[in-house]
Every structure is written in C-alpha cells, then in structure tokens.
Amino acid sequence: SVCPGPRYRFLMPLQGCSPQGCSPQGCRLQGSRLQGCSPQGSRLQGCSPQGCRLQGCRLQGCRLQGCRLHGCRLQACRLQGCRLHGCRLQGSRLQGCSPQGSRLQGCSPQGCRLHACRLHACRLHACRLQACRLHGCRLQGCRLQGTRLQGCSPQGCSLQGTRLQGCSPQGCRLQGCRLQGCRLQGCSLFNPLRMSKAKRN
C-alpha cells in the first residue's frame, strides 16, 4: 500500500483494495486500473497518476496535495470530504462521480470532461477551469469563490443554491442550464459569456 520509490508502478490491476491511512509521496502510477478501492484518510502528496482508470472507488477524507492527474478516468467514484490543494487535472474524464463536501483549492483542471456528475456542497476556491465540458451535472449548494471559468461549456447542468462569488466566466457557453436560487456576487459577466436557453425558473 505504501510506494517504495518515486517511480513505482502497478503492473497488475488492483481490485477491492482498502488502503487506509496510507501516505504515498512522490509516486507515479501509469496505466493502472483501480476497481472498488476504498482508501480512507490517505495522504497523497506529489503523486502523478497518468492514464489511470478508477472504477467504483470510494475516497473518504483523502488529502491530495500537488497531485497531477493527466488523462485519468474516474467512473462512479465517490469522493467524500476530500481536500485537493494545487492539483492539476488535464484531459481527465469523470463519469457519474459524486464528490460530496470536498474542498478544491487552487486546482487547475484543463480540458476535463464531466458526465452526469453530482457535486453536493463542494467548495472551489481560486480554481481555474479551462475548456472544461460539463454534461448533465448537478451542482447543489456548491461554493465557487474566485474561480475562473474560461471557455467552459456546461450543457444541461442544474445549479441549485450555488454561490458564485468573484467568479470570472470568460467565453463560457451555458446551454439548457437551470439556475435556481443561485447567488451572483461580484461576478464579472462580460460579452464573451454566451447563454442559450438558460432557465432561471
């Protein structure tokens, strides 16, 4: 469960693993398959999983600091109470994931695709979302403070009770989104923002 070196790789798929309280630092996971894993209270610092596939994993109370997720695929994963500080998600795909009560600070997901994800009471502080695609996602009670949305295209998303404070959406396209009880404080909605068929009721 603990990586012996900075260039450690998992050659075999890991199924049904439950590493609890692990602290792998500086690990590199390339092309691994994690199915049904439940790392609880783990601390992942400086990890760089590339091209990994996580299916049905449960991440509870995990702390990810300075991690780099390139081309990862997360399917039906549950992230509860996780903290992501300064992580980089580039070209990752999240399908049917449900991060609940997670905190994302200073993260920079670029070119990510979120399909039918459910975000409940998540906090995004000073995050940078560039060219992300959100399809059918549900953001309920989320707090986006100082986030930068550049070229994002949320389609069919439902933002209920979300707080958008100091956000700067540039070149975003909102298609078929539902804005119910949202709070827009200090947001900078410029001409590049395109709203087509947005529903406020």
The identity of residue 21, as a single letter, is G
Fold of the domain spanning 26-196 = Pectate Lyase C-like (2.160.20)
Return the domain boundaries, the chain: 26-196
In this structure, is the dihedral angle defined by the CA atoms of residues 77, 73, 22 and 127, taken in order, positive or negative?
negative
Q: For residue 83, what pLDDT is reported? A: 93
Q: For residue 76, what pLDDT is reported? A: 94
Q: For residue 191, what pLDDT is reported? A: 43
**70 with 91: CB under 8 angstroms?**
yes
Edge to edge, what strands does the sheet with 148-150 contain? 68-70, 88-90, 108-110, 128-130, 148-150, 168-170
As averages over each run of 10 residues, the pLDDT of the chain (201 residues) reads 41 68 80 85 86 90 90 92 92 93 92 93 91 92 89 89 86 86 78 52 51
The tokens describing 140, both together, are 């309920």
Q: For residue 38, what pLDDT is reported? A: 87
**99 with 82: CB under 8 angstroms?**
yes
Q: For residue 12, what pLDDT is reported? A: 47
Helix (H) or strand (E) holding 140: strand 138-140
131: Cβ contacts below 8 Å, ≥ 6 apart: 110, 111, 150, 151, 152
- Rounded to whole angstroms, how far apart are CA atoms 183 and 175? 19
Q: For residue 3, what pLDDT is reported? A: 42
